[in-house]
A and B are shown apart, each in its own frame.
Chain A
Amino acid sequence: MSDITKLTVCETLKALQNKEISSVELTKAYIENMEKGRHYNAYITECADKALKQAEIADKNYQSGNNRLLEGIPLGIKDLFCTKDIRTTAASHILDNFIPPYESTVTQNLLNDGAVFLGKLNLDEFAMGGSNETSYFGPVVNPWSKDTDLVPGGSSGGSAAAVAANMCAAATGTDTGGSIREPAAFCGCTGIKPTYGRCSRYGIIAFASSLDQAGPIAKDVKDCALLLQSMAGFDEKDSTSCDIAVPDFPNLLNGDVKGLVVGVPKEYRPQGLNDEVASYWDKAAEYLKARGAIIKEISLPHTKYALATYYVLAPAEASSNLARYDGIRYGFRAEGKNLDDLYINTRTSGFGKEVQRRIMIGTYVLSAGYYDAYYLKAQKMRRLIHNDFMEAFKQCDIILTPTSPITAFPIGDESMLENPINMYLNDVFTVSVNLAGLPALSLPIGLSENGLPLGMQLIGKPFDEVTVFNVAAKIEEDAKFERK
């Protein structure tokens, strides 16, 4: 077989089942790619030895016919998922020596299905960022870069870069405001943030708990469907996890889009929207129309306010969640002459600039006298944004939008760095979905004029990932995007 690391997870499973390749052979091929691709800085921690041991077990299971759903598939894990006995850093100095004594539910589910873990993938510090530049371990390089090093998007930048460069068969990500979908779009991968409550948050280092969701980043739609099937499910260790059966996603992909009403929100086409983005958006709608879907303009009137709402709520929740990093029970400690000093010194040296900025903004909007004006106001806006979607779904079955208004930009881009709001604006098409708790997938639709991937986003009704996968599979068939 030529390059086995270029196969999708579904193709790889077939090759393993037919004994054309072994999991050890496969894992070695990925480890080789990881070594060759170290300049991408996608992995924070590599676990080659552990992975090979897991692969040996997988091969035995194939021999004895006891192979499970993902037996022997080498995955990369975003370094925000706690993995037992494997260092888990959240890409932060404050956790750079943390070795969890327990496993997150999502990664445990993958292990139970026979997956092999190659290592822990780079991200923005505590998943706060849209370019992977806030990582304590340095930025990740987008494998699509040509002359200049480009960002992979964020926060799951390591995950998307590793999938694009065939340094893992697929990866886990998390998405609080677009952190799976934006990097998937920038790196030409497919990624889905499922409905809030679909995947357990237990053991995922918390950023903004009412918005955080885990999901896969993979080479294509079917792989995402398969991975999500393994990752998802009710978990009593997460009080927001929903006790709803997980459909057999990969086997429900043969649906028809005929008669399906696809909503296209007019507010997502602001004046000055990039021409290429707009024309690919029209093209995606055309593909579906040609297959018998009905394209319908819809309105999500409060879209304009989603970003500001998000940038109140997410920092507020983060400031509360990150209060636990005090230098006492785990992680980095800087000494101080009294307890407050110890806290302050630990947190000031342990957290990076963007994390400190968000903690302070969050603390401010929650502080006495400002709570109603900012935090409560934002929660009310969240209701309106949520209601917009519920109204829209009375007229359509699924919503089609671009994933990002731009393609990958250079690492260290001046305009992004001079004003944090410029960076925040990249999330304009993705944050509403988190506020409303909906499932949304990004898939590559084509290349821009400068040869960089562009993503399309499909937003579904709550717990209707099946329709999202189905429609995505049709666009994928027509777009014929060529992976690296």
Chain B
Amino acid sequence: MAIDNETVKRVAFLSRLKVDDDKIESTKEEFNKILQWIEELNEIDTDEVEPLISVNNVNLRVRNDEITAGNCRDDILKNAPSAEYDYFAVPKVVE
């Protein structure tokens, strides 16, 4: 399954990354090399195989829905590139 220039642009946008116009061709070629290599997996018939999602097959633990760490707003906001009125600040999103 080789990909084309349009797919490169689409995947870049889904990833919220920009690929410059003069890099699209080389990115496509690089991707196709990697995808072609990955296609060797098709040599093996896996129709009857259960996917393995996690190696420790324990059930997830449940706990009470209680706050275990809180009252740290100021600590959290310290790392924000922009904060105003005790909130994260972002560009205007609603016209």
Residue of B nearest to A335 (CB): B91
Judging by beta carbons under 8 Å apart, are B38 and A379 in contact?
Answer: no
For window 26-84 of B, CB contacts with A under 8 Å fall at: 27, 30-31, 33-34, 37-38, 40-44, 46, 49-56, 58, 60-61, 63, 69, 72, 75-76, 78-82
CB-CB contacts of A413-424 with B at 8 A, as 1s and 0s? 000000111000
Residue A347 is within 8 A (CB to CB) of chain B in the complex: yes
Judging by beta carbons under 8 Å apart, are B53 and A384 in contact?
Answer: no
Judging by beta carbons under 8 Å apart, are A242 and B58 in contact?
Answer: yes
Choose among A326, A335, A356 the residue with the greatest number of B CB atoms under 10 Å from its CB.
A356
Residue of A nearest to B12 (CB): A360
Residue A186 is within 8 A (CB to CB) of chain B in the complex: no
B45–chain A nearest beta-carbon distance, Å: 10
Contacting residues, chain B, for A326 (C-beta < 8 A): 16
Judging by beta carbons under 8 Å apart, are A329 and B56 in contact?
Answer: no
Residue A20 is within 8 A (CB to CB) of chain B in the complex: no
A419 to B32, CA, bound (A): 12
A394–chain B nearest beta-carbon distance, Å: 18
B55–chain A nearest beta-carbon distance, Å: 3
Judging by beta carbons under 8 Å apart, are B18 and A348 in contact?
Answer: yes
A336 to B18, CA, bound (A): 13
A305-B41, A436-B55 as given contacts; A360 in contact with B11, CB under 8 Å: yes
Judging by beta carbons under 8 Å apart, are B52 and A99 in contact?
Answer: no
CB-CB contacts of A384-401 with B at 8 A, as 1s and 0s? 101000000000000000
Contacting residues, chain A, for B72 (C-beta < 8 A): 101
A380 to B56, CA, bound (A): 16
Judging by beta carbons under 8 Å apart, are A383 and B50 in contact?
Answer: yes
Specify which of A304, A308, A376 is in contact with B51 (CB 8 Å cutoff).
A376
Residue B90 is within 8 A (CB to CB) of chain A in the complex: yes
Residue A409 is within 8 A (CB to CB) of chain B in the complex: no
A101-B78, A344-B17, A360-B17 as given contacts; A328 in contact with B55, CB under 8 Å: no
Q: Footprint of A on B, CB under 8 Å?
A: 1, 3, 7, 11-18, 27, 30-31, 33-34, 37-38, 40-44, 46, 49-56, 58, 60-61, 63, 69, 72, 75-76, 78-82, 88, 90-91, 93
Given contacts A308-B37, A329-B76, 8 further A-B contacts (CB under 8 A): A308-B40, A331-B81, A340-B16, A347-B15, A367-B14, A379-B53, A386-B52, A419-B33
Q: Footprint of B on A, CB under 8 Å?
A: 97-99, 101-102, 196-197, 210, 236, 239-240, 242, 302, 304-305, 308-309, 311-312, 319, 323, 326-333, 335-340, 342-345, 347-348, 351, 356-357, 359-361, 363-364, 367, 370, 373-374, 376-384, 386, 419-421, 436-437, 462
14 chain-A/chain-B pairs, Cβ below 8 angstroms: A98-B79, A240-B54, A328-B88, A337-B91, A338-B93, A339-B90, A356-B17, A359-B15, A378-B38, A380-B46, A380-B49, A380-B50, A386-B52, A421-B34
